[in-house]
Chains A and B, each alone.
Chain A
Amino acid sequence: MTTFLKLLFRNRLAALGAVVLGAIVLLALVTPLLPLADPDVTATGDRFMRPFTEGHLLGTDHLGRDLLSRLLWGTRLSLAVGIAAALVAGTIGSAIGIVAGYFGGRIDNVIMRGVDMLMAFPYILLALAIVAALGPGLLNALIAVAAVNIPFFARNIRGVTVGLAGREFIDAARLAGMGHGRIILTELLPNVASTIVIAMSTTVGWMILETAGLSFLGLGSQPPVADLGSMLGEARAALITNPHTSVVPGVMIFLIVMSINLLGDGVRDALDPRLRSGALTRPRAVTLVDRKGQVPEADQKGLLNIQSLETQFHVGPRIFRAVNEVSLHLNPGEALGIIGESGSGKSVTALSVMGLVASPPGVITGGAVRYAGEDLLSADYRSLRQKRGNNVAYIFQDPLSTLHPLYRVGDQLTEAIQAHHAVPDATARARAVELLKDVRIPNAEARVRDYPHQLSGGMRQRVGIAMALANDPDVIIADEPTTALDVTVQAQILALLDDLRRDRGLAIIFITHDFGVVGQLCDRVAVMYGGRIVEEGPTATILSHPAHPYTKKLMACVPELGGGKRELAAIPGLPPVVSDLPPGCAFAPRCDKATEACRVGEIGFTGSDTHRVRCIHPEEVLA
């Protein structure tokens, strides 16, 4: 709660809204205690007095009634009616939504059909019909506004509930012997509550506006009692001659609604955890580069050369050091594996190459990435864009989310071609079919017209590969391309990648967490842990004689098929969090060989250019 308030008031606009609204509510609350004129006493002789006249701070209306007094009493009424309507609509609507969303099936169907019927009306028609039936009056207007808003709440809350009801903790509660009523009240409601609060705080202003509107039309509060809407309605006749009688209530409605909207947005932002982490920021076209140190000199290694790369995520005050001092190079036609667990920095390393790390929050803070000698991190957008896909192409993990759902696969392929080559559509399309054939998609001529959702997972990933091949790049970076696939499909995709690479002389960086995959596909492998490379060398050597204790332990953790039932070797402890890396070796806390020296200072590489390890007590002494 305190974090909520802190978050809320850190938002300056929300704080402003809270102050304005607070003042208005306070005024409304103390109105009966203030020395005001009776709002309903008419004095035709004093009609249409201007603001700031003696005794009438805001002037008088067409019947000579004191505007200030009427304004405050009207505000009181408008606020009360609007809030009451929001509470009624919110409570009933949420209850309906939760029941429909939790039970699903036929109950949901029947309820939501009814809700859809109500939403088939432009809201005011329904409100007008209700007022027509019940007769004009403030209470009836309140009923109408609440009734009209029930479907909005029901639908909104149902959506959230459906998502929650499918979550495993609800199943777990049922297996723990809890009944439906108890699950709704103790498991669901606490999770839906924030959505209900958000929905109420963002609609309360709207409901005040709607009730004011009905009163404006003469269908709400009846004379002589006035809320802000009916004050405005009565003043309309004298709009041209005495505009102040209109402006006073109008500005008040505006102030109330705006302060509620500001506050409501603030509440939403503070309660919505997705916004809280700042996740809803738009990633730029290129990752931000903000190098503190010097750009490393070119050292002519490989076609693609990553030198002392440092990539960080800046989230609020916390700095996640995702990639630290990573140096890697890739020779033409070579397959390099990067292996590591989640959070080891392997994907971020790969995405940093072409500036594809989401930024904000990602920032490249050091190092260089050289393609054929040129530093891509200093390149401008134009030249980087020309190299993306053309020289260095990517294959991503989940082909369902990485292909655009609304474009045909053929169009996505031709777009890739035409981004770099000004060829006519027909040529590009023919090339797209050819590409699909190259990745062995059967019936390619028909498949180009398919949308991604019409293809199976394996076929989609073949499209992803075809797209990477579209411009005959020299380097392909494959970021866990088979992790989302079934094992039989994975085998096919890996075999395909291996064939393509050999046929076309492609250099490939293959990111994975699977030693089996690396062992089969890669010439060299780099092992990452806690954002650093801890070991790098030829695949065969590392698999047979791992030098870093982490590499050795990690391999022992992974069971291999054919060993039968057995006890598995485990690594104690947890992988490090990169926002809080220990000094020295990140693996030291989990390592049984660790000594004091492992926990201080920077630990450099030992070994040769071909096989190097970042360890003081390696398993194998490297020449």
Chain B
Amino acid sequence: MTALKVTDLSKTFVVGGGLLRKPGAVRAVRPMSFEVATGETLGIVGESGCGKSTLARMLVGLNAPTTGQIEIAGKPLDNADPAAFGKLIQYVFQDPVSSLNPRKSIRQIMEAPLKWLHRMDRAARTARIAEIFASVNLREEFLDRYPHEFSGGQAQRIGVARALAAAPRIMVLDEPVSALDVSVQAQVLNLLADLRGQFDLTYLFISHDLAVVEAVSDRIMVLYFGAVVEIGPAREVFKTPRHPYTKLLADSAPVVGRPLTAPEQKDSELPDPLNPPPGCAFAGRCPRATDICVKVEPDLRPLGEHQLAACHHPLD
């Protein structure tokens, strides 16, 4: 069953533009289509500026898409209010401390989705919060404290608990552990894995850390410059990358025992978003680029059994 279906979704930001200057357009997310099955974890990786956060914000209704549709559990949701999204899909933020209002107690924070999305009465709310807190291993005495009293790991558990309180089908996890210490990261990742089974959730897991994404995902989608360059099963994407960019990513990750050499690439710069090149956005850095790459934008096409890549000269 399909939990999330995205068709031709894109976002263009208008930037600059003053009295005398024509505003420019930045295509943060180029039209993309993909599906996520119920119970699946789709990992989304990419470096800064690849559009992963914009994509995530559109999926939960915080940014209105420029084109395309979002369908959750068969319901189209393209331009609805975040509140309409909120019951179906929730968001766990990167910075756990900044995602909690410093002037509110944890109880007030936890109650908001129950009150405004589900219109529960006080007794029902208390019962529900107790239930959720038990499942994320938080003590109920925390409810009367304020966000600054918690460490990053605890605050992130609270963020996860708040998202769960809305009883969504899907959770978008936007770099949920990158602000945490290494020794605490694993705790939160394992908790998230448990919750997925327990509440029958579907995850979109966004991260820049390839190893973390690989460890938690069923499938992985690689973004570059606002577009999907490769998508496939987690086990295969980094083992047998089809797109040269995916290979570059995999080769760049520091691995114990591998000698230090910079992986092959022509240039390290991203293209200018205000003045994007025609053809493949990666062509400027790609060691395999030919004439066609700088002229024609490649489409995503199946390569191998389950992988898709957008490349004119894919790797075997």
Contacts and interface: CB of A to CB of B under 8 A. Distances in A.
Instruction: Tell me if chains A and B make direct contact, with any CB pair below 8 A.
Output: yes
Contacts of A46: none
Interface stretch (B2-10, B20-28, B249-257, B295-303): B249-257
A486 B99 CA distance: 24
**For chain A, which range describes its interface: under 10, 10 to 19, 20 to 34, or 35 or more residues?**
35 or more
Contacts of B193: 567
A492 interface: yes
Contacts of A456: 268-270
A566 interface: yes
B248 A169 contact: no
Given A487-B249, A558-B182, A569-B186, A516 B256 contact: yes
A520 B104 CA distance: 46
B252 A574 contact: no
Given A175-B82, A557-B182, A486 B254 contact: no
A182 B108 CA distance: 14
A391 interface: no
A32 B109 CA distance: 50
A494 interface: yes
A320 interface: no
Contact of A175 (B86, B184, B250): B86
Interface in A505-548: 513-517, 519-521, 543
Contact of A494 (B85, B104, B260): B260
Interface string B225-268: 00000000011001100000000111111111111111101001
B252 A487 contact: yes
Given A561-B214, A565-B235, A169 B100 contact: yes
B215 interface: yes
B93 A168 contact: yes
Given A177-B113, A572-B187, A575-B181, A171 B256 contact: no
Interface string B38-77: 0000000001100000000100111000000000000000
A168 B86 CA distance: 15
A489 interface: yes
Contacts of A568: 186, 189-190, 215
Contacts of A517: 254
A562 B101 CA distance: 39
A489 B212 CA distance: 19
Contacts of A490: 252, 254
A341 B153 CA distance: 13
A458 B103 CA distance: 38
B260 A175 contact: no
Nearest to B89: A175
Contacts of A565: 214-218, 234-235
A491 B254 CA distance: 7
B189 A489 contact: no
A168 B179 CA distance: 14
Contacts of B261: 495
Contacts of B83: 174-175, 177-179
Interface string B95-136: 100111111100000001101110000000000000000000
A513 B190 contact: no
Nearest to B252: A491
A587 to B, nearest CB: 10
B290 interface: no
A178 B83 CA distance: 7
B268 A492 contact: yes
Contacts, number: 201
B186 A571 contact: yes
A22 interface: no
B90 interface: yes
A342 interface: yes
B82 A174 contact: yes
Contacts of B187: 570-572
B49 to A, nearest CB: 9
A560 interface: yes
Interface residues of B, number: 77
A569 B189 CA distance: 10
B249 A519 contact: no
Nearest to A494: B260
B252 A171 contact: no
Contacts of A563: 211, 214-215
A84 interface: no
Given A175-B166, A561-B214, A488 B181 contact: no
B261 to A, nearest CB: 6
Interface string A173-203: 1111111001000010011000000000000
A580 to B, nearest CB: 13
Nearest to A489: B268
A45 interface: no
A92 interface: no
Contacts of B189: 568, 570
Which of B104, B154, B239 has the most chain A CB within a 10 Å cutoff?
B104
B235 A520 contact: no
B185 interface: yes
A282 interface: no
A559 B90 CA distance: 26
A560 B183 contact: no
Which of B48, B189, B256, B265 has the most chain A CB within a 10 Å cutoff?
B256
Interface string A135-175: 00000000000000000000000000000000111011111
B208 A487 contact: yes
A169 B256 CA distance: 38
Contacts of B260: 494-495, 498, 520-521
Nearest to A553: B183
A191 B98 CA distance: 13
B183 A554 contact: yes
A498 B162 CA distance: 45
Given A176-B116, A190-B103, A568-B190, A558 B211 contact: yes
A326 B13 CA distance: 51
B214 A520 contact: no
Given A175-B90, A519-B257, A567-B190, A557 B262 contact: no
B86 A177 contact: yes
Contacts of A495: 260-262
A172 B112 CA distance: 10
A495 B250 CA distance: 16
Nearest to A457: B48
Given A489-B268, A494-B260, A168 B99 contact: yes
A566 B101 contact: no
Contacts of A122: none
A488 B234 contact: no
A520 B256 contact: yes
B85 A175 contact: yes
A187 B268 contact: no
A293 interface: no
B101 A191 contact: yes
18 contacts: A173-B112, A176-B112, A177-B83, A187-B101, A187-B104, A486-B47, A486-B48, A487-B253, A490-B252, A491-B253, A516-B255, A557-B185, A561-B214, A565-B214, A566-B215, A568-B215, A574-B153, A574-B184
Given A171-B62, A557-B182, 8 more contacts: A174-B62, A175-B82, A177-B83, A191-B101, A488-B249, A488-B263, A495-B260, A520-B260
Interface of A: 167-169, 171-179, 182, 187, 190-191, 341-342, 456-458, 486-492, 494-496, 498, 513-517, 519-521, 543, 553-554, 557-572, 574-575, 590
Closest 5 CB pairs of A and B: A516-B254, A519-B256, A177-B116, A570-B186, A491-B252
